[in-house]
Structure 1
């Protein structure tokens, strides 16, 4: 078998371990395992979404126009349905966008430490990758790199807030940065965690309607996987200028989300109480992890997401820590693959956090 050359040096994305795998490997009952590795909603899914899924007909293909979902999103964000594309997760929307504008001569620009799939999608397009020296979204560094290499950059990607670190620049800083980018260059705003950032600090809030009114080259992407509790349904969306949406849509596969996914997403948008309950719990509980880190002299990054990144030490490095907790039925995200001696912990329910923090303290005591 002859494979494309770019696969030789392409590392697979490493997701959080599934509960079923940990149960098999360590002989732990699934109900006794706590997964705080993949930034899923600890409260599950909205009751309205669950009811909608039970009422749909999965033997039938979904409405491929996604009329009802696009209309609901258009009302939510103050735009038109023609400004919206639906994807199997927001990552599919970004993959299509990168393929639409990048090639061997036009690469992507990103922060040094950010969502690993950006590089994988760039390699699909044979596109080079430009990145900052800073781990974070240093927009001044990004602007400098862009200015020097504008002709060779097809897409600039900002993860707002950033996964896996959790930091987030102010919206005003982002808008100023967008003014520096040529209208011939696509800018992707990956806003998978924007609901959390807006709750914690409204200065971080990127408003899609404002982006659409000012920038024809910007794609705002969002997801139902986090705040809306539909990670297993795989529904995402992109908002952009109609011409940009038309071009990206040429790469969209037919029926790219399922009939139950479509029904769940429409219903989830109508259950804001569920969303706000989860977000409030997130920021009520997060200070407990900050206090733990401070207690043991561990660095952490103030987070605007539903997770926190905590840096460990050489004596108890991130791999040892993650493995030790795995044996206790607690799944963390080891950030070793990002070159960091750190773990990322999704903020769970109070009961889950009690157990996770107890296990963490036992490791560092």
Structure 2
């Protein structure tokens, strides 16, 4: 059977290995498996969310409110924008799919960092766009600008904090860069981990309201999958001027976010204390990773997220180490597919992190 020729060069997105698969492959009891591969909130979600969702399970037979008005209103109030500036997707990656299909085609170029979220490239290949990458590992905005001037891409992706490395850009540097970009180039500022960056360093905070007011060609992406602990609910959003949002709505399918997911995200927004406590605990535990890698003489990338990227020594192989950890019930992310000899580890609870230190030390 023949398929779209554009599909030939697309590789499947490599998600973190699920616990259920490790149980089947290695015969390990679920209680003995620790998953630190997908940057989920190790503290779960707000108890308010669980209670609210349990009360509406009887509505599962009905289609969700396709206007998503309650959640839109909550997001717009949080970021001090209008409801018309908001689009909600099944995860922020669905919004990425919308905007690429709305803006790009086989004659377009899309610029992104050398190492960044894999779905930018995958969705770009859906439409046959040419992919441009920087050479630097971190977001070097001077290099971005030089490529932009030469190639005039249709879309530029800026992921801050960046996944899978964890580094972040000073907001002033980002705004200076955006001021030099032509209004016909769509710039995507992906802030999936922004809640973490804000608490660690105020200079990294990117405020969507300022982006929308200052730049007509920028869209900001956020998610409920990380700090809010709703990875399993799949809710993300985009914030931009109304002309951009209107174009994305032409692509959005009806009922793309479930009733339970909409309720969960709406209630999660109201529990700021849970989110703050999760982030404070995250950075407290991250200090333990920083101390550990110093002892082990392993490089670590300064992280503004809920994960750390450990860059291994040449004598150590990330795939081999990740595989050995997996056999012991510890799931981490091998970054060899990004051409990095590194592993990405979600910062877990105190007990989970202690177990990681024990196992990695044995292996090293």
TM > 0.5: yes
Query: How much does 1:315 deviate?
Result: 2.9
Structure 1 residue runs of 5 or longer lacking an equivalent are: none
**Residue in 1 aligned with 2:271?**
271
CA distance in 2, matches of 1:316, 1:304: 25
Query: How much does 1:360 deviate?
Result: 1.3
Residues 67-78 of structure 1: matches in 2 within 5 Å?
67-78=69-80
Match of 1:131 among 124, 130, 133: 133
**Residue in 2 aligned with 1:261?**
261
Match of 1:62 among 51, 61, 64: 64
CA contact (8 A) 2:109 2:151 kept: no
CA distance in 1, matches of 2:31, 2:269: 29
CA distance in 2, matches of 1:43, 1:215: 36
**Residue in 2 aligned with 1:53?**
53
Count of matched residue positions in the alignment of Structure 1 and Structure 2: 362
**Residue in 2 aligned with 1:357?**
357
**Residue in 2 aligned with 1:161?**
161
CA distance in 2, matches of 1:135, 1:154: 22
**Stretches of 4+ aligned residues off by more than 3 angstroms:** none
**2:63 matches 1:93:** no
Query: How much does 1:98 deviate?
Result: 1.0
Query: How much does 1:333 deviate?
Result: 0.2
**Residue in 1 aligned with 2:284?**
284
**If the length of structure 1 is used for normalisation, what is the TM-score?**
0.98
Query: How much does 1:312 deviate?
Result: 1.3
Residues 322-333 of structure 1: matches in 2 within 5 Å?
322-333=322-333
**Residue in 2 aligned with 1:202?**
202
**Residue in 1 aligned with 2:243?**
243
**2:116 matches 1:110:** no
**Residue in 1 aligned with 2:142?**
140
SS of alignment partner, residue 158 of structure 1 = strand
SS of alignment partner, residue 111 of structure 2 = strand
Q: Over aligned residues, Cα RMSD in angstroms?
A: 0.8
**Residue in 2 aligned with 1:310?**
310
Query: How much does 1:9 deviate?
Result: 1.8
CA distance in 2, matches of 1:135, 1:4: 32
SS of alignment partner, residue 9 of structure 2 = coil
Query: How much does 1:298 deviate?
Result: 1.1
CA contact (8 A) 1:156 1:185 kept: yes
**Residue in 1 aligned with 2:177?**
177
CA contact (8 A) 2:26 2:327 kept: yes
CA distance in 1, matches of 2:120, 2:291: 33
SS of alignment partner, residue 44 of structure 1 = coil
CA distance in 2, matches of 1:58, 1:284: 39
**Residue in 2 aligned with 1:187?**
187
CA contact (8 A) 2:300 2:310 kept: yes
Query: How much does 1:314 deviate?
Result: 3.3
SS of alignment partner, residue 197 of structure 1 = helix
